[in-house]
Structure 1
Amino acid sequence: MSRPTEVLLQALRPWLRLVEQHPWSHNDIYARWITSQARRIRTPRPRSALDIGCGTGNLVARLAGVVDQVTGLEPDPEASRIAAERSAADPRVRILPVGFDDRPDGEWDLITMVAVLHHLPLAATLTAVRSMIKPGGRLVVVGLARETRADVPWSAVSVLLNPLLGLILHPKADGAMPVGMTAPAREPRETLDEIRRVAGRILPGVRIRRGLFFRYTLVWQA
């Protein structure tokens, strides 16, 4: 590590320490954008959504106000229990404690995957999801990709903004991790260019864009 880099990191350390004191979910920040995508669907009602890897149900709760029926899949026992408890009184929602391989049969108007696709085989998963969406429906993904040099500017901005958002979204400096961030995680394997190539081949017309906070977005209309 060069001396200038060491000096820079040392200068930023108090700022970056705020991330540990004010943790927040990088996934939840995209929830409003996802629901805006759901509102653009023009399939006949009633409309249904499938949230693959729904975690503790934050997005499911939001989607229940946009579509008519929401199914959440979550293989982590504790996360699925929390999601089921918080939605128990809502007849529009069902939570299944299963992973993608044990998904129910059917087609949906909207399928969402937030920080999930990199846990699954990319090509096989996109191929399967393509057949699960009704004509006119949408696939909406917020994903993680393996970082390359092209991602560095976005990552640098995200690193600087991270503590600021933490102060706003988690003002109490207790270091308590949000419940939705406790599920098992995995480092992404594919770069964004690799994801673009595979998705472009399987999902003609797919739109993929870099996003802040180490995420990318993917939207495809069937």
Structure 2
Amino acid sequence: MAPLSHLHRFNQRHPWSHNDHYGPWAADQVAASGARDVLDVGCGTGNLAALLRRRAATVTGLEPDPETARAAAARFADDPAVTIVPTTFAGRARERRWDAITFVAVLHHLPLVPTLRELRGSLAPGGRLVVVGCYREAGPADRLASLPAALANPVVGLAKHPARAAAPPSHMTAPTAEPQETLRVIRAAAAQELPGARIRRRLFWRYTLVYDAPGRLSAPDQHSRCG
């Protein structure tokens, strides 16, 4: 266990965000849908919201941690097209439907099936849900799949954060929770609640899910689509 302990301490000294790693991918998925009005759930200090704002007309970020929400609001104080609301997904404007919803490292904090059902109902016709999620490892296949991430993690950390850190950066201080659902359970729930959702296992202990609601977006700016 000593090597694992040393590796853990090394990763702590050179922290980097696995979630931010997938930010450009998530923003690309939103842009490819032609979405204009985007809801970013669990927006943190606004790193993904900033990427989304370059591709969409309006971005609403929900952040339950008051201090983090204040930091995000201050970041976008001069941009009226970005709204930060200090609340959870349950506190969203329930009558509103969104062209796209992003859910990064949030789903495992919430009840899986009811949340997927609510997400489906929160999308406008043709709207897109983009999830970057965490799953619980179960069995040899998951452990084998995590081996490349375990090897690459310190290398990426050293490249991104070569100086030793005394504490994690502010955008990595949000409360965390261990995921309870396996990838198999998540796939089954998505098949039930989000027919046609595309799920992929990803590097760094993540999976991605993309779901397109039936219908067609009414936004006229279809030139904003990208491949």
Give yes or no for the alignment of 1:196 onto 2:187.
Answer: yes
Unmatched tracts of structure 2, length 5 or more = 214-227
| Counterpart residue number, 1:25 | 17
| Counterpart residue number, 2:123 | 133
Query: Per-residue deviation at 1:133?
Result: 0.9
**Alpha-carbon contact 1:16-1:163 (below 8 Å) kept:** no
| Counterpart residue number, 2:100 | 110
2: CA distance, partners of 1:17 / 1:102: 37
Give yes or no for the alignment of 1:81 onto 2:70.
Answer: yes
Query: Per-residue deviation at 1:55?
Result: 1.0
| Counterpart residue number, 2:45 | 56
Write out per-residue CA displacement over residues 106-131 of structure 1, whole angstroms, 9 at most, x where no aligned residue: 01111000000011111111111101
Residue type of the alignment partner of 2:116: L
Cα RMSD over matched residues?
Answer: 1.4
Query: Which secondary structure does the structure 1 equivalent of 2:209 belong to?
Result: strand
| Counterpart residue number, 2:83 | 94
**Alpha-carbon contact 1:23-1:170 (below 8 Å) kept:** yes
Query: Per-residue deviation at 1:25?
Result: 0.7
Q: Equivalent residues in 2 for 1:97-176 (5 A)?
A: 97-104=86-93, 105-149=95-139, 150-176=141-167
Unmatched tracts of structure 1, length 5 or more = 1-5
Residue type of the alignment partner of 1:174: A
Residue type of the alignment partner of 2:176: A
Query: Which secondary structure does the structure 1 equivalent of 2:22 belong to?
Result: helix
2: CA distance, partners of 1:19 / 1:25: 11
Query: Which secondary structure does the structure 1 equivalent of 2:196 belong to?
Result: coil
Deviant stretches of 4+, over 3 Å: 12-17
2: CA distance, partners of 1:206 / 1:106: 22
Q: Percentage identity across aligned positions?
A: 53
Write out per-residue CA displacement over residues 113-159 of structure 1, whole angstroms, 9 at most, x where no aligned residue: 00000111111111111011112221000001111122112211111
Of 14-23 and 34-43, deviating more is 14-23
